[in-house]
Amino acid sequence: MRKPRDFDSELKALADKAKALKERRVRQLGELVMATGADALDADLLAGALIDAATMKDAATREGWRRHGAAFFQRKPSKPARGAERQPQSALPLHGGAASA
């Protein structure tokens, strides 16, 4: 006889995993903002720039931004980073996700 599945515990485990992934994404976005120096910008200015980037329809402009962002992730730091300013290898994917918006 087969052992019955515990659907409640499986759903709880999936919910916990989803919550951890969301927290990780938020933390990584914060690290990205700090690594690019955008944390020095006013929150309203940063939000406006992100909104404009997300709604930009011009493919050439978006491609230029994408290339610039990819180059940012490819470069090697010239000095040792400290604390939250360092870029972990798993910061954000180069393609897809929030990085493409």
Contact 28, 99 (CB under 8 A): no
Residues 6+ apart with CB under 8 A from 95: none
The reported pTM is 0.60
7 has pLDDT over 60: yes
Which of 95, 48, 51 is closest to 73 using CA atoms? 95
Tens of pLDDT, residues 19-57: 999 999 999 999 999 999 999 999 999 999 999 999 999
Which of 99, 97, 100 is closest to 35 using CA atoms? 99
Across the range 94-100, mean pLDDT stands at 46
| Domain definitions of the chain by residue range | 7-39, 41-73
